[in-house]
A and B are shown apart, each in its own frame.
Chain A
Amino acid sequence: MQHVRVKPMMPPGHVRTPHYLRGKIGVIERSLGAFPNPEDLAYGHAAPALPLYRVRFRLGDIWGEDTPHPDDTLDAEIYDHWLEPADAP
């Protein structure tokens, strides 16, 4: 189980990393291969392909342990440059 943290960055402009996941820790569910970076495509630029991962988070790790059913999960696709290694939460 490889734990990763979504970087807590807050740039302007079009990014495909939801606000509610920034700074949250999950595990890589699977690698999806490389896809053109939407942050470049959004402005009509040539886009390098970046590794894309499905990252699985516990709802308790996103919303706090007092959330109903904290062991339910949320999977999202996150690009490599938004992820950093992390310890288990």
Chain B
Amino acid sequence: MPHDHHDHLSPSGHPYREDDDTPLSYWQTMEIAVRELLVEKGITTPADIAAQIETMDARSPANGAQVVARAWTDPAFRAELLADASAATRDMGFDIGPLNLIALENTADVHNVVVCTLCSCYPRNLLGLPPDWYKSRAYRSRTVREPRAVLAEFGVTLPDTTTVRVHDSTADMRYIVIPARPEGTENLSEHELAALVTRDSMIGTGLAKLP
């Protein structure tokens, strides 16, 4: 039967990969089987699974951008964020579940960058799922050894006077980088500032955009 791909747009408006029309793989077969077994056993329901997918789809770097913009404009919030980033983001109204979040502030002297060498730990409950490169062997291997070379591949070149701090998410904490606020943004609103904050700037492989 023909498949109507308009039913398969992600909330970002991008099509899902067209797995409906590719040959069924062994692992896809397993996913269907596991899902149906969990439903038959009463462990979950199709509605719960759909709701979980919707919850994760609704999380995106735009959430983190709002947090960063607030930190740039509200000194009290910035202090709260640096002291307890989980509490500060919850206070902004974000449902981050059990996420233990630490905020790392970039300054003229310090540039932070986040990696998970053991797997793919990422503040997914705030920013959504990590980009593919974050999960790659190359990023996970090299960032802890030659961070400046990795940053250069992302177009970020730092002066020798800046200390690079790499953060390996090895256990229970997750990290969000607060990029430095670009110069010339004094008159921008919080909303306009948030538009300058990219996903990569909150991982540390990018800088905030210039207005």
Q: Do A and B touch directly, given a CB cutoff of 8 Å in the complex? A: yes
Q: Which residues of B contact A75 (CB under 8 A)?
A: 165-168
Task: Give Cα A89–Cα B111 distance, bound, in whole angstroms.
Answer: 24
Cβ of B166 and Cβ of A16 under 8 Å apart? no
Residues B173 and A16 in contact, CB atoms below 8 Å apart: no
Known: A20-B144, A69-B160. A77 touches B166 (CB 8 A): no
Q: A77 to B174, alpha carbons, bound, how many Å?
A: 10
A69 to B146, CA, bound (A): 9
> With the chains together, A33 CA to B169 CA distance in Å?
16
A48-70 toward B: CB 8 Å interface, digit per residue (1/0)?
Answer: 00001010100100110001110
Task: Give per-residue flags for B132-168: 1 if the beta carbon is below 8 A from chain A beta carbons, else 0.
Answer: 0000000000001111110000000000100111111
With an 8 Å Cβ cutoff, the count of chain B residues facing the other chain is: 21
Q: How far is the CB of A75 from chain B (nearest CB, A)?
A: 5
Q: Is B201 an interface residue (CB 8 A)?
A: no
Residue pair A68, B146 in contact (C-beta under 8 Å): yes
| Inter-subunit contact A38/B171 (CB<8 Å) | yes
> Within the complex, which residue of B148, B165, B169, B172 is in contact with A73, where a contact is CB–CB below 8 Å?
B165
Contact: B147 with A16, CB < 8 Å? no
Check A79 against B164 for contact (C-beta < 8 Å). no
Tell me which residues across on chain A come within 8 A of B55, comparing CB atoms. none
* Distance of A73 Cα from B146 Cα, bound (Å): 11
Residue from B146, B169, B171 in contact with A79 in the complex, judged by beta carbons closer than 8 Å: B171
- Taking the closest CB of chain B, its distance from the CB of A82, in whole angstroms, is 10
A69 & B172 in contact (Cβ 8 Å cutoff): no
User: Are B163 and A16 neighbours in the complex by a CB distance under 8 Å?
Assistant: no
B145 touches A32 (CB 8 A): no
Chain B residues with Cβ below 8 Å from A32 are 100, 172-173
B165 nearest CB across to chain A (Å): 5
Contact of B166 among A17, A68, A71, A73 (CB under 8 A): A73
**Residue pair A74, B168 in contact (C-beta under 8 Å):** yes
Asked whether, in the complex, the Cβ of A71 is within 8 Å of the Cβ of B169, the reply is: no
Of chain A, the residue at the smallest CB distance from B165 is: A73
Residues in chain B near residue A35, CB distance under 8 A: 171-172
Inter-subunit contact A72/B166 (CB<8 Å): yes
Known: A18-B118, A72-B165. A77 touches B145 (CB 8 A): no
B45 interfacial by beta-carbon distance below 8 Å? no
A28 contacts B by Cβ under 8 Å: no
Give CA–CA (A63, B146) in the complex, Å.
Answer: 10
Q: Are A16 and B146 in contact (CB under 8 A)?
A: no
With beta carbons under 8 angstroms apart, the residue of A59, A62, A76 that contacts B170 is A76
- A4 touches B (CB below 8 Å): no
Determine which of B149, B160, B167, B171 lies in contact with A52 in the assembled complex, contact meaning CB atoms within 8 Å: B171
* Complex alpha-carbon distance, A71 and B162, angstroms: 10
Could you tell me which B residues sit within 8 Å of A by CB distance?
100, 117-118, 144-149, 160, 163-173
